[in-house]
Structures are given as structure tokens and as C-alpha cells.
Amino acid sequence: MKFKSLVIGMVGVLASGCLNAVSAAESSAATPPTTLTGQYIWDKQPAKPGELKAVLTPDGPQQWKAVYTFLNPQSKSQTVTYTGTLKGDLQNGPVTGTAVTDGGRRTFAIHGTANNGVLTFNHSETSNGNIKPTGTGRLKVVSTEASKGSDFDKLFNKPQATPTP
């Protein structure tokens, strides 16, 4: 009888754990991405700030998978996309993250602080095991719906010209 009670108890614990895991996955899947928009300054060209957009997909409490899209300040039409992470309090608190180019040729670290939904950060290149400060930036949390159809959204979502060989 003790064995039967133990098995029934274990089945109950397993079922409860599975339901909690499904519930957590559903709530994470139901959470829409968070969009941040702003500018970055490259230390080599401080007089020419570039536009920056980050789309964050939830990946745990105060953790996101990030897609960073940078607009080249020289051409105003060429974008560069990095993928990575962002962790921390996007409203008021410390925030850290990473950004990696396709193929991993260049890697950047992001360290900053959010204040009232505005993230002020420093970025550093971390290629070849060395950390080299590369500039600063500022991003503001905007709702996904608010950014749709904006001039900024149109700029980042326009088709890119394909180079001819």
C-alpha cells in the first residue's frame, strides 16, 4: 500500500511540474517582443550618431534574445544586424548584453543603466579576447504597436538593395 501511495504521489508531482512548465512556456510565448529605439555613437565618428533598433524576445525573467539593427550613419540606407542577448531591468536598473555579427566575426558587450525606460549604455568590442571601448548609446523602450508604421520603423523595414556582382 505504501508503494502505491508513493507512486500516486510521484505521478501527482510530475503532472504538476509538467502543467507548470506548459503554463510558463505559454505565458512566455504569449508575451510580445519588446522594441527599443534610439541612437549609438561610434567613438571613431562622434559627430555622426547612427540609428539603432533592438527587438527583444523574452527568454526568462528579465532576459531576452535580442536582434539589434544598426543604420549606417554614412549611407543612411545600409543596415547591419547583430544578434545576442540583453539582461536586466529595462525600466530602472542595470542592463548588460551581447551582440554578435553573423559568423561571429565581431562581438560586442553592452553595459548600462535604465532610468524610466531609457537605457544609457557603453559598448565595447570583445574580439580576440581583448575588450576595446567603442562608444555609447541610448535606447528607449517603445511599445511594439507604437513603433509600427513610424518613420523609424519604415526606415528599418524597407527592402535592402542587393549588390550586383
Q: Determine, yes or no, domain membership for 164.
A: no
What's 48's domain CATH number?
A: 2.40.128.120
The pLDDT, as a whole number, for residue 127 is 74
Residue 120 shares a structural domain with residue 73: yes
Residue 25 shares a structural domain with residue 48: no
pTM value? 0.68
Residue 65 shares a structural domain with residue 112: yes
Number of DSSP helices (H) and strands (E) in the chain, helices first: 3, 8
- From the centroid of its chain, how far is CA 144? 13
Residue 125 shares a structural domain with residue 45: yes
Q: Determine, yes or no, domain membership for 165.
A: no
Closest CA to 112 of 99, 129, 130: 99
Give yes or no for a contact between 109 and 98, defined as CB atoms under 8 angstroms apart.
yes
Q: Determine, yes or no, domain membership for 42.
A: yes
Residue 85 shares a structural domain with residue 128: yes
Residue 5 shares a structural domain with residue 62: no
Residue 26 shares a structural domain with residue 41: no
Residue 24 shares a structural domain with residue 87: no
pLDDT per 10-residue tile (average), the chain, 165 residues: 45 41 46 87 83 93 94 76 94 94 86 93 86 92 54 44 41
Give yes or no for a contact between 101 and 119, defined as CB atoms under 8 angstroms apart.
no
Q: Determine, yes or no, domain membership for 162.
A: no
Closest CA to 138 of 50, 38, 55, 64: 38
Q: Please state the domain count of the chain.
A: 2
The residue range of the domain holding 54 is 34-157
End-to-end Cα, the chain, rounded Å = 77
